[in-house]
Amino acid sequence: MVSAKNARRAATLALVGLGCQLLGALIIGVPGGQAAALAVIAAFYLLTGYAAYLLKSQIAIVAAVAGLALTALPIASMVPSWSANVAVNLIYIVLYLPMQRAFDRVLYDADVSQGTLTLGRCWVVSLLIGRGASMLGFMPYFEGQAELSTAQGQFTMLFRIQLILEIVALIAAFVSYVCMVRYLWRARGLLEEDAP
């Protein structure tokens, strides 16, 4: 059984980890910022992994360790880009879904409002939609469609599908992050009242 105090700490760590994740995504494209970005992303996996430990979610801990290994070791350079993308998206799914379920259990025991639990469902559903669309958009059969569209002077059907998937992934990611932050922030406040 996860205590309210540990769940509150986990929520704080998950929020800080999310900040690290977003910061890493912002600076990874900056010239000379790749090493710093990888360090920040590694910090995200460490923080989120510790949050999973506090929530007693072994599956999420394994996902955090896998993400840390993928970030720290030169594994990504040895596999095709689409494989690395699929691996990262699967890691996020396996990392966050068990954590959200663990939070739900603690919040349910704390008798929180249905609105808080609905935020958690919204986080999970939008996460699955966004990560699924991102994985599909990076499949090998979409490679080179942008160049082919330019050469033909019009969008190919596959490029249009890829563009739709990217838009869906972007919107779903935005909704997921908003719901996640609101859910975890609300959980922190609610669990602070119940923490021993």
Q: Between residues 23 and 194, which one has the greater pLDDT? A: 23
Q: Mind listing the pLDDT tens digit for each residue in 55-98?
A: 999 999 999 999 999 888 766 566 667 788 889 999 999 999 99
Of 43-47, 80-84, 120-124, minimum mean pLDDT range: 80-84
Q: What is the pLDDT of residue 12?
A: 95
Mean pLDDT within 47-61:
96
Q: Are 181 and 121 in contact (CB under 8 A)?
A: no
Above pLDDT 70, what percent of the chain? 94
Q: Label residue 141 exposed, middle or buried (CB < 10 Å: 0-12, 13-18, 19+).
A: exposed
- Count: domains in the chain: 1
With contact defined as beta carbons under 8 Å apart, do 176 and 123 qualify? yes
Does residue 162 surpass a pLDDT of 80? Answer: yes
Which of the pair, 138 or 40, is modelled with greater confidence?
A: 40
- Start-end of H helices in the chain: 4-27, 34-54, 58-72, 81-109, 114-137, 145-152, 157-194
pLDDT > 60? residue 194: no
Q: Which domain holds residue 66?
A: 4-194
More confident residue, 121 or 85: 121
